[in-house]
A and B are shown apart, each in its own frame.
Chain A
């Protein structure tokens, strides 16, 4: 049952991303291009997504102690601002601006623009692996010390 529900939530998300034109990298770049012919469309997308999530989270956190199909809410527990957050977010922004793809739209757009999506996702896989390896190496160095 859980796989089907996770799949359905993904379908809704991917459908929404495509309806919102997030899967169109040109629309994303036009949105980021504030000094050019700025396309305000994605600002509406972000505002609507945020508003629904903000209100929805408020209601469900105030009414429920635990999620319906799991034992507890698993919220990110980090609260400090560190250099990893800052450097990682800037790196992500540079990558996003270069192609107009971020992770969700690249995956949702795999049948819409397969060539670009597939190359991007494979490269993203390499980036994720590189990060995992660097974490692993740092851990080993620490243990050795």
Chain B
């Protein structure tokens, strides 16, 4: 896919008619810095020193501090919301697979897995999401697997008009 990255806040590129296999335009965020981790610690309130105190992180056996899982999840959630539609998002899941190190750039991707009918007659779209990291001198790594479900209301007005016609 070579479609441009969607502008934040614009209408989603997906909808009830998006077929399974449709891929979201990749988005790159970063490179992330220690300051980004500290900013997230303050915003989110998670002050586990493993994310900002280099001495502590090394004493735990890590080469350096690393990013909060919820920071990566938060970045991915924004990507999912702009792709599927912020107001359509019904479910968002993440499973952390690897650490995000200072200097890593997050590479966000998504794919429509399935579409189906929701309880209210609308359409549900289920998508898989992934975050890889890229950095100079390091191999591209999968750091997070995620998923999202979006719901699109039934086109009641169009249907009513169709019935009248």
Do A and B make up one complex? no
